[in-house]
Amino acid sequence: MSADILSFIIFLPAVVAFGLMITTKHIETVRNIAFLTTTVILALVLKIYIDFEPSAGMQFVTNVPWIESYGINYYIGVDGFSLTILMMIAILIPTAYLLLWDGRTKGYWINMLLVQTGVTGSLLALDVILFYFFWEVMLLPVFLMIGIYGFGDKVFTTIKVTVYTMLGSLLMFVAIIYLGVAYHNEFGVWAYQYDKLTQITTLSYTEQIWLFLAFLSAFAIKIPMFPLHTWIMETYKNAPTGAVFLLSSIMAKLGVYAVVRFLIPIFPEIYVEFSSWFVFIGLFGLVYFGIAALMQDDIKRMFAYSSASHLSFIAAGIFSLNAFGVNGALYLIIAHAIATGALFLLVGIIHDETGYKTIKDLGGLAKQSPIFTTIFAIMLFANVGLPGTNGFVSELLIIFGIYEFNHTLGYVSALTVIIGASYMLWMFQRAILQDRVGETLKFRDLKIKEIVGLAPWVFLVFLMGIYPDIFIDKFEPTVTHYLNDILHIGATK
C-alpha cells in the first residue's frame, strides 16, 4: 500500500470539513457526510493495521521537504505504538458520532472533523515543527466547541483552558527552535526531524533539563499531570459532550504519546535520571485525584478527576523504565479511552434527557433503561479494572512495572486501585441503581443507533481483557527498541 495513505487519513476530514463549510447549510447532510468520512478512515486504518508488520521501525513513511531552507520536512510514519492509538482514534470517533447524532449544529460536526485531522496529524508527525503545527490545529476546534456549545461559565472556561494550553505550547515551541539552532550549530544544516535531533551532542546538562521540562510542560498540561491539572475540572463540567469525549479519550492520550515519541529518544539520559520523580508524581496524582473524585457530586467533575487519576497512573507506568510498566501504560491508554469515553457519552445522554448531572438529583434510572445500565456497568467495571476487562490487564501490567521499578511503590500502586473502585461504585449505586427521592425522572433507554455505536466498545473491553496479546504484539517491538536501543536499560530495569 502506498505511503500516501497516511496523508489521506490525516487530511480527508479537514478537506471534507472545509467543503461542507462552503457548500451546504443542511445539518443532516453535514452530519451524514462527516460520519461517512470517519467510516472511510476507519476502513483505511483497518487495512493498515492488518498489513502492518510488527517491528521497531517506521512504516508507510513519507518524508519530503516542506520548508527546505530551514530543514522542515513533511515527515510522517507509523510504528507499533502510534498504530495502536491510530486504531483507537479510527474506531472511537465514528462510533461516538452515533451517540451524538441528534441535536447538534453544522459547526459542531465541522469542528469534530477538524479535530480528527489535528489529532491524527499530531500522532503521525515525525518532524517536531510539523508535530507542533498539528498540535495547535487540534486545539482550536475544541476551544470553539467549548465557547459556542458549552454550559455555565463557558467563556471563562474557554479562556482558562486556552491560556493553559497556549502557555505550554509556547514553551514547547521555544524548545523546538532551540534544538533546531543547536543542530545547525553542530552540523551546519537545519533539521527538525526527531531522529536527527537525537544526534545533537553539544547540549549541556542544564540545557537538556530545561528543554526536557519545556516539552514536558506542554504534554503534562494535556495529560494532565499534577500540578498542571487545574483547568480540567471546570472544562469537563462546562464543555459539551463531544468536546469532553475528545479531550478525555483522545487528546489527553496524545500527551502521553508525545512523551514517549519525543522525550525518550531526544533526552534519554534526562528521562532516566528523572524517572523516579515522575513515577512518584504519577502515583501521587493517582491518589490525589482519586480522593478528589470521591468528594464530587457533579458526575462530569467526578469523571474529570477519575480521568486525571487514571492518566497519572499511565504516566507512572511510562516512567517505570521496564517492559511491564510501559506496555501496561500503552495498553491502559486504549482501555481508558474506551471506558471513559463511553462513560462521558452516556453521562451526556443523562444530562440531555433529564437536565441533571449531579448525583443527588439522579436515581432510579436502572429500572427504566436496562440496556443503558448494562453498558454503563460494563464500562464502569472496565474503568476500575475488573478481571476479564481490558482495564484489569493494563493496570496489572503497570503494577508489575512499578513493582519492578521500586518494590515499595509497587505495593502502593496496588493498594491505591481501591480508591478508583470506591468512587465509581458509590456513584453507580446512587445515580443509577437506587430509587430517586421524590418524583421519578423520565429517562429513555438507548436507541438502536446508540447500541450499534457502543457495541464495538463493549466487544473491545472483553477482547482486550481476554486476549491482550492480539494488541500487545503490535507495539511490544517498539517498546523493546526504546528500552534496549535508546535507553540502554534492557527489557527490565
What type of residue is 412?
V
- Other CB atoms within 10 Å distance of the CB of residue 120: 30
Task: Name the H helices within 194-298.
Answer: 194-197, 205-222, 232-238, 241-245, 252-258, 264-266, 268-273, 275-294
Per the DSSP assignment, residues forming a β-bridge with 298 are: 358
Domain of residue 343, residue span: 274-493
Three cell numbers, residue 238: 462546562
Please check whether residue 356 lies inside any domain of the structure.
Answer: yes
- Domain contains 480: yes
As a whole number of angstroms, the distance between CA 165 and CA 363 comes to 37
Q: Which amino acid is at 446?
A: L
Residues pairing with 67 in the sheet: 72
Predicted local distance difference test score (pLDDT) of residue 130: 93
363: left (phi over 0), alpha (psi -120 to 50) or beta: left
DSSP 146-159: HHHH--SSHHHHHH
Q: pLDDT value at position 55?
A: 72
Q: Which amino acid is at 302?
A: M
Q: With contact defined as beta carbons under 8 Å apart, do 377 and 290 qualify?
A: no
Sign of CA dihedral 451, 454, 456, 459: negative
For residues 10 and 145, give the distance between their C-alpha atoms in angstroms, rounded to a whole number.
Answer: 21
* pLDDT for res 445: 81
**Cα gap 228→374, rounded to integer Å:** 35
Q: Is residue 375 part of a domain?
A: yes
Q: In Å, what is the CA distance from 283 to each residue of 38, 315, 362, 410? A: 36, 9, 32, 10
Q: pLDDT at position 176, please? A: 92
**Cα dist from 401 to 17, 393, 395, 398, 480, whole Å:** 43, 12, 10, 5, 14
Q: Give the torsion sign (CA, 75, 77, 81, 82).
A: positive
pTM, 2 dp: 0.86
Residue 296's pLDDT is: 78
Residue by residue, pLDDT tens for the chain (493 residues) are 456 889 899 999 999 999 988 887 888 888 899 999 999 999 999 988 888 887 767 888 888 888 888 888 999 988 888 888 898 889 888 988 888 887 778 888 898 899 999 999 999 999 999 999 998 888 888 888 887 877 767 777 777 777 778 888 889 999 999 999 998 888 888 888 888 888 888 888 898 899 999 988 888 887 777 777 777 777 777 778 778 888 777 887 888 888 888 888 888 888 888 888 888 888 888 888 888 887 877 887 888 888 888 888 888 888 888 888 888 888 888 888 888 888 888 888 888 777 777 777 777 777 888 898 899 889 988 888 888 888 888 888 888 888 888 888 888 888 877 777 777 788 888 888 777 676 777 778 888 888 988 898 899 999 988 988 888 887 888 888 778 777 766 544 3
Distance CA 356, CA 108 (A): 22
Does residue 134 belong to any structural domain of this protein?
A: no
For 419-466, what is each residue's pLDDT tens digit? 777 777 888 888 887 776 767 777 788 888 889 888 988 999 999 889
φ/ψ of 104, rounded to 5, equals -105, 165
Reduced DSSP (H G I as helix, E B as strand, rest coil) percent helix, strand, coil of the chain, to 5: 75, 5, 20
In a domain, 13, yes or no: no
Give the β-pairing of 72-78 and 59-67.
antiparallel
Q: Is residue 347 part of a domain?
A: yes
Structural domain includes residue 315: yes
Query: Where do we find the cell 481501591?
Result: 418
Residue labelled with grid coordinates 512495572: 401
How many CA atoms, within 13 angstroms, populate the side-chain half-sphere of residue 389?
Answer: 22
| pLDDT of amino acid 390 | 87
Distance of CA 470 to the CA centre of its chain: 21
Q: In which residue are the cell numbers 527538525 written?
A: 192
User: Rounded to whole angstroms, how far apart are CA atoms 254 and 242?
Assistant: 17
Count CB neighbours of 452 within 10 A. 13
Structure confidence by residue, pLDDT tens digits, 13-45: 999 999 988 887 888 888 899 999 999 999 999
User: What's the total number of domains in the chain?
Assistant: 1
**Side chain identity at 419, as an amino acid letter?**
I
Residue 341 belongs to a domain: yes
Neighbours of 435 (CB within 10 A): 11
What length does the chain have?
Answer: 493
